[in-house]
Structure 1
Amino acid sequence: MTAYGKSAGINFKFGGTVSNTLDAHRVIQHFQEEKGPEVADKIINSLYSQYFENEKNPSSTETLLQATADAGIPESEAKPVIEDKNDGLRDVKMLIREQATNGVDSVPYVTLEGKRRDFTLVGAKEVEEYEKVLHQVVKESK
């Protein structure tokens, strides 16, 4: 993974804290609903960088404040959401349960819609595996 990361410009480090990411998901969901998917993507990208490159705890208040700041959200707006551990918790848990009933138990979970059938890739995959499925979708679409 380190070698692949370097080729993609990511300097992976593996000494960070592994923790429950429910608070991170809750904050992402809140701001996705309030400000849209572009802002949520910025939060996610910041969290990935902080965790995978800087070994930060993905659910700490400090990390979440940095991620929301990186997404352009003022601290005065982000901090109450981050500190209120119940804000959006029920909704996020419901979304998790919903995906679990769909068989989703790891990420990434990618579904490619084909003409005759859909293809699902679960968990970390090599680029070649995605290419193989995409070629199959094209082949079956002819």
Structure 2
Amino acid sequence: MRAVQEAPSGDTPMGFTVLRVPFFLEPDYPEGAEFEETNRVRLLRKWGGKAGWEAQKERHNLKGRGREVGIEHFNLDRVASNTMASHRLVQWVTKTLGVNAAENMYNDLNQKHFEGGVKLNDREMLLEAAVAVGADRDAAAAFLEDENEGRPEIEAAQRQLRDLGVSGIPTLILGGKYQLPSGAHHAESLIRAFRQVEAEGGATGSAFAAALSIPDEVMAETIRL
């Protein structure tokens, strides 16, 4: 995002906001804290064994792309779990503290999970991450405790994703109407896409703000990098 924002465009830097839309890589995982599966086991199962997994790694080059942005090590034995609790809390932080707080929390969760190996339904870790970006601990804990809070919005977003044909991540939808192909994009391709949107007059809408009940003032917030 920093490369996109800093790319030259006349005299005006590019500004944008980001709304993270919940997506479940393993939608059938039980939500209970007792369920867990290492990512190594998950990937071997998903890709039909070691040969399929190795082929997938060759195609995606995740390790190489991670190193390009300073991530030296992905923890292959990180503990996978149902991610509903983390999605609910990220969306709550987005609504109550804004997209910058949510983005900081999202980055923190990614580091704790992908590098540190922590489960994404670890309630204590989730509360610490929310407090670190300014949330009241008691309010965050009460929100997580009520399993119905935030769930209808996330379920509505899942239906919308299916309607749009989104079946993988990352998938970027710019301004609520320009959908890029799923998969990791290099900064250069994102800059070209944003410049095209900019040349057409910009796009300030969101495909998912209504489904996720994100207030207009939150969507008007510019990401700080």
Richer in helix (by share)? 1
Please list the CA deviations of residues 59-94 of structure 1 after superposition, one character each: whole Å capped at 9, or x if unmatched: 220221122122121322211112222111111111
User: Among residues 14, 18, 22, which one is paired with 2:84 in the alignment?
Assistant: 22
Q: Which has the higher contact order (CA 8 A, sep 6+)?
A: 2
Percent identical residues: 26
Please list the CA deviations of residues 32-81 of structure 1 after superposition, one character each: whole Å capped at 9, or x if unmatched: 11221111112211111111110011122022112212212132221111
Find the counterpart in structure 1 of residue 47 from structure 2. none
How many residue pairs match? The answer is 136
Give RMSD over aligned pairs: 2.8
With the length of structure 2 as denominator, give the TM-score of the two structures: 0.52
Instruction: Give matches, 1:87-126, under 5 Å.
Output: 87-111=149-173, 118=178, 120-125=180-185
Q: Is the 8 A contact 2:127 2:141 kept in 1?
A: yes
Please list the CA deviations of residues 82-140 of structure 1 after superposition, one character each: whole Å capped at 9, or x if unmatched: 22221111111111111211111221112458xxx956220234x28836964xx59x9
Which secondary structure state, in structure 1, belongs to the residue aligned with residue 166 of structure 2? coil
Q: Is the 8 A contact 1:46 1:70 kept in 2?
A: no
Amino acid in structure 2 at the alignment position of 1:85: E
Q: What is the rounded CA distance, in whole Å, between the counterparts of 2:97 and 2:187 in structure 1?
A: 35
Instruction: Give matches, 1:58-73, under 5 Å.
Output: 58-73=120-135
Shift >3 Å, 4+ stretches:
131-134
Instruction: Give matches, 1:41-52, under 5 Å.
Output: 41-52=103-114
Q: Is the 8 A contact 1:26 1:89 kept in 2?
A: yes
Find the counterpart in structure 2 of residue 130 from structure 1. 189
